[in-house]
Amino acid sequence: MEKLNILVVEDEAILAMDLKRIITKIGYNVMKVIRYGEEAIEYVNNCETPPDLILMDVVLAGSMNGTQTAGEIQKKKNIPVIYITAYSDDHIVMNARQTNPFGYILKPFDERTLRIAIELALNKHKLEISLAESEKKHKELNRAKDKFFSLISHDLRNPFNSLLGFIEILRNQYDALNDSDRLLFINIVHNSAKNIYDQLNDLLEYSGFKSGMIECKPGRVNVLNLISRTADIHQENALKKSIRISVDVPENLFVFAGEEMLFSVFHNLISNSVKFTRKGGCIDVTASSNGNFVECTVRDNGTGMEQKVINNLFKPEMKQSTPGTENEPGTGLGLLIVKEFLEKNGGTVSVSSSPGNGTSFHLKIPKAMEIS
């Protein structure tokens, strides 16, 4: 294991030599021994690898004392400091506290005292860094979540407004409308209601998974049976656009995954392909064994995507719903569900696409063990 580096800032030569001896003995590396505060500041700011810890005398030679030196260093570097001093009056301690030291050792001291002080300071600093990173990540997740739910509420509001608007027309002008207009408005109401249902279903599925309410129960899943079942559900919508759905999967190919989660994955991918494929197009679903994984591809010859769109496909905070080739609505949640569910089952998803040349989703799912 690589030794941690300690910088010693001490103007008493004999004590500095003793510090260096003890620090080396207890398993650390002394980067340098410096007498002056100004020199210590310059050294820390310019060295390629900053010290892991600074042992700082409170009283130094030169115009700056130890607390002033530590204060200047901490403006640019996050390095723990332990003060070493022969003084213990309240004024010195108060000045030292203003720089948030990680320890305070009174001279004279022994090896054990120094070792414990260094270990405590390093552990405390490591914990503080971990907590700061965790807090930063938590804030980023909260920002992403707030934006995500803001987008969801906006997406739900629009179809509700459409639904209520056409219901109001039917209620207030029913007798004045002919049968053709009534049927038109009823179809619009039906489509709006279905869109709301789809959005709520995706939202419940996604939020349920994120909150831990949806469990992953992995087992042996026949890939052909699962994909065929999923494709059959989408045949009606595909036929309306004269889209051919082709499934080319070996009969005895099994993955180890949660069947319902995997069903949701292929449901969303095939639905997405139908949505963005023009009339007369085709969707090909293939799967094959490759080592410890089964590799599946859902490929269409639809509208395709630009790279900047691909880069944001699986980011909740960048969720967006794009109408399909027949202006089919979407939730923007389907691909988030695909990624989350696959990763939960030890799989991955990647995308290849370009505008006008269709899109391919490439999946890797852990293969089930052979049963002898």
How many CB atoms lie under 10 A from the CB of residue 1? 4
pLDDT of residue 148: 62
Q: Are 295 and 288 in contact (CB under 8 A)?
A: yes
Kindly report whether the global pTM for this prediction surpasses the value 0.75: no
How many CB atoms lie under 10 A from the CB of residue 3? 12
Q: What sign does the CA torsion over 247, 249, 250, 255 have?
A: negative
pLDDT of residue 236: 83
- DSSP states of 112-160 as a string? HHHHHHHHHHHHHHHHHHHHHHHHHHHHHHHHHHHHHHHHHHHHHHHHH
Structure tokens that stand for 217 in this block: 């129960």
Instruction: Considering the chain, tell me which residue range(s) the CATH 3.30.565.10 domain(s) occupy.
Output: 215-372
Q: What are phi and psi of 367, to 5 degrees?
A: -80, 140
Instruction: Considering the chain, tell me which residue range(s) the CATH 3.40.50.2300 domain(s) occupy.
Output: 5-109
CATH code of domain 215-372: 3.30.565.10
Q: What sign does the CA torsion over 302, 308, 310, 313 have?
A: negative
Is the bond into 108 cis (omega within 30 degrees of 0)? yes
**Whole-number Å distance between alpha carbons of 44 and 73:** 7
Candidates 206, 198, 204, 201; CA nearest to 159 is: 198
pLDDT of residue 91: 66
**Whole-number Å distance between alpha carbons of 230 and 226:** 6
Half-sphere exposure of 342 (CA within 13 A, CB side): 25
Q: Reduce the DSSP state of residue 320 to 3 states and report it.
A: coil
pLDDT of residue 317: 63
pLDDT of residue 184: 85
**Whole-number Å distance between alpha carbons of 143 and 217:** 31
Structure tokens that stand for 327 in this block: 């202006």
- Paired sense of beta strands 218-222 and 254-258, if any: antiparallel
**Whole-number Å distance between alpha carbons of 309 and 331:** 16
Kindly state the greatest CA–CA separation across the chain.
Answer: 104
pLDDT of residue 257: 92
Q: Reduce the DSSP state of residue 249 to 3 states and report it.
A: coil
Tell me 243's DSSP state.
-
Structure tokens that stand for 238 in this block: 């595909």
Q: Are 114 and 23 in contact (CB under 8 A)?
A: yes
Q: Are 39 and 8 in contact (CB under 8 A)?
A: no
**Whole-number Å distance between alpha carbons of 275 and 287:** 22
Half-sphere exposure of 126 (CA within 13 A, CB side): 8
Give the CATH architecture of domain 5-109: 3-Layer(aba) Sandwich (3.40)
Q: Reduce the DSSP state of residue 76 to 3 states and report it.
A: coil
What lies within 8 Å, CB to CB, of 103 at 6+ separation is 82, 83, 117, 118, 120, 121
Q: How would you classify residue 108: left for phi > 0, otherwise alpha for psi between -120 and 50, otherwise beta?
A: beta
**Whole-number Å distance between alpha carbons of 59 and 36:** 10
**Whole-number Å distance between alpha carbons of 347 and 266:** 13
Can you list the residues of the chain whose pLDDT is less than 50?
none
